[in-house]
Amino acid sequence: QQQQQQQRWQHLRPSKCHVITIFASGVLFSLLMLTLLDFVPSSPHRPRAVPGSLRRVGSDGGRALYAPRHLPDESLLRLADETRVMEPYLPVITRGKTKTAEEQQDTLTNEQEALGSLKMALEMKQLGKDDKALRLFQHALALSPRHPEILTKYGEFLEHNRQDVVSADQYYTQALTVNPYYTEALANRERTAQIVEQMDAKRFEALDRKRDALSSVHSSNMALKRAEKEAYIQHIYHSVGIEGNTMSLAQTRSILETRMAVDGKSIDEHNEILGLDAALKYINATLVNKNDYITLKDILEIHRRVLGHVDPIEGGEFRRTQVYVGGHIPPGPGDLAILMGRFENWLNSEQVFLMHPVKYAAMAHYKLVHIHPFSDGNGRTSRLLMNTLLMRAGYPPVIIQKQHRHKYYNFLQLANEGDIRPFVRFIADCTERTLDLYLWATSELSHPVPLLAQESMEGMPLIFNSFTGEEGDDIGSGSGDAIRIGVI
């Protein structure tokens, strides 16, 4: 019996052949695991490994990881002295108004006129006179912007006669925020909501493809470096300009490049530019690389630089007074600590990992500017936070152009009323425009410089027009700057 047992075990004793087979399958198994690891979805906005080693192109092989995108080389910007004297800032306070009896009467008259306009618009629509109908709808909306019927009918016109489902859906949603039981808007939304959601998702995919294309451009590419520098200067120019800074693009450039004061402009206006410059450099050197949580302290550090580091009172501190921003009344100073704590949690929550980075960045911007934690510099700090999140996800910092500020505030207002999607789409537009600028600048197209110098910009790609960034009031710097992209 013993012999029998021995025999049974005999053939199980490892032979050379067995050892090799086991070893080989082990190797195969680990190879397989390594390959599979590539497909494990990783956080879209928080690259977790060593930056620089991650850049990978192509979106087809699972979710690729992205190296964060940095600002242009410091030497290229020729930045020097950061310790200039910065003046303390005073909060800008706009009082929220309560309506007087007279104004209430006005509202009623307006509403009657608006409904008259709506009636005519619908008649025109019936007659097939779309252009007239459009103007009448818009007139009605301008007179009475929160009337559910006007919003819904205008939405229907946009959906069916203009094939603009996104705007239509936005107006139905607005009608429902005014009256959640408005049946026509409810029925319409049932039709549009899903279509719009799919369109938004496609939009994000398109942005990802452009980001992929950009990450395949080597960072030593001279055209890319030039575009990065241009975008850096324009980012500062627009971000301070949106809030009323009157420096032209050429003056902004000159201050950043030479650190010399510009004649006829106030110290405050200079300091706003230098503050943003310092904050951007701080972000670039710290937060973009930090594969970790974004904390409240980080936000305060950004703000400290936005307002200038020698201002010991307001820079990096929450406000201690109530403020009023147009029609928006931000939370009282006593609630700021709690709300900002919640904001910090949200910024680092599981929920945001699943969001597209552009949506995440836009929402962070909106939430921060809604809380309005500072006495001044809330807009600039929010835009910087948004760009921090974008850069961490491999996107370039985006520019919100100052000539778009009405749209921008309008979308923030819509978000206050309950619909954040138009603001997210607006930021997606800005992101796309920025990506297009980089891609266009680094494509073959950008080489024939004489083309850029042409007076008329009509035939140029949209991105070029929108990136010249000049308004009519910047006479003397406009056309010169417009061609800089190609010739710095």
Ligand X SMILES: *[C@@H]1O[C@H](CO)[C@@H](O)[C@H](O)[C@H]1NC(C)=O
Instruction: Give the separation between CA 250 and CA 248, rounded to whole angstroms.
Output: 5
Please say which residue, 284 or 388, places its beta carbon nearer to ligand X: 284
Cα 67 off chain centre by: 18
In the block, tokens 């319409």 appear at: 188
Closer residue to ligand X in complex, CB, 265/290:
290
* Shortest distance (Å) from residue 236 CB to ligand X: 11
Q: Least distance from C-beta 333 to ligand X, angstroms?
A: 34
Question: In the complex, which residues of this chain contact ligand X (CB under 6 A)?
Answer: 70-74, 77, 281, 284-285
Q: Is 380 annotated as a binding residue?
A: yes
* 284 assigned ligand-binding residue: no
**Annotated binding residue 377:** yes
- Of 177 and 219, the one with the shorter C-beta distance to ligand X is 219
| 383 appears as a binding residue in the annotation | yes
H or E stretch at 356: none
Query: Which helix H or strand E contains 332, and what residues bound it?
Result: none
In angstroms, the first-to-last Cα distance of the chain is: 93
Q: What is the nearest approach in angstroms of ligand X to the Cβ of residue 29?
A: 39
> What is the number of alpha carbons within 13 Å of residue 223 lying toward its C-beta?
16
| Token representation of residue 93 | 């306070």
Q: Other C-beta atoms within 10 Å of 205: how many? A: 11
Q: In angstroms, what is the minimal distance from the CB of 421 to ligand X? A: 33
Quote the CA–CA distance of 310 and 28 in Å, as a whole number.
61
Beta-bridge partner residues of 325: 328
**Any binding-site annotation on 408?**
yes
Tell me the catalytic residues.
372
Cα angle at 215 between 209 and 220, to 5 degrees? 155
- Check the annotation: does 135 bind a ligand: no
What gap in Å lies between CA 26 and CA 280, rounded to an integer?
49
CA distance 281 to 259: 15
- Whichever of 284 and 466 has its CB closer to ligand X, that residue is 284
Taking the least distance from each CB to ligand X, the nearer of 132 and 281 is 281
In whole angstroms, the minimum distance from the beta carbon of 276 to ligand X comes to: 12
State how far the Cα of 50 lies from the Cα of 45, in Å rounded to an integer.
14
The annotation places the binding site at 325-328, 376-383, 408-409, 416
The annotation places the binding site for ATP at 325-328, 376-383, 408-409, 416
